[in-house]
Amino acid sequence: MRTTLMIGAIALFSTIGTQAQDKKASHPMDKAWVAMNTTVLNVELKLNDDQQAKVKEIDQRFTRKEEALEAVTPKLTDTEMSNKVEALMDERDNALREVLNKDQYASWSKMRHKGTSELRPDQKDKMKTQGKD
């Protein structure tokens, strides 16, 4: 069950990332991301009802702030956008740290960083420089 849920989440996140590059994020996809992320965290971290509500609110807040960045005129460069989204993710991390217990946060942090932690340093550098102006 967890594997199926994680595969579904990865597929959804990949789809959202691709669409965000092509056009402004759509609200239905944002809602789907929030629902999927809350569900994944609930299953993986065994969130209680209060934590589920708080994680959902944090994800909704993060999504609204990211949409606001995408709507900025004049458009941000890829580097500026990347830096601002990274700052938003740090803000989201801090908010989640307040909601999750120590063990849950440690597990979540491993899940979040798993994709890039397996990359070689040259691959990480390539990711950082891709899309730079």
Give the tens place of pLDDT for each residue, 91-126: 999 999 999 999 999 988 888 766 555 556 776 666
Query: What tokens were used for 76?
Result: 């941000």
Spatial distance between the Cα atoms of 101 and 122, rounded to a whole number of angstroms: 34
Q: Which among 26, 105, 115, 106 has a CA at the least distance from the CA of 70?
A: 26
| pLDDT score at 103 | 94
In the predicted model, residues of the chain with pLDDT beneath 70 are 1-27, 113-120, 123-133
77: left (phi over 0), alpha (psi -120 to 50) or beta: beta
| pLDDT score at 23 | 42
Spatial distance between the Cα atoms of 110 and 103, rounded to a whole number of angstroms: 11
| pLDDT score at 91 | 93
Spatial distance between the Cα atoms of 42 and 49, rounded to a whole number of angstroms: 9
Predicted model pTM: 0.63
| pLDDT score at 17 | 45
| pLDDT score at 115 | 57
Residue 96 C-alpha from the chain's centroid: 12
DSSP state of 73: S
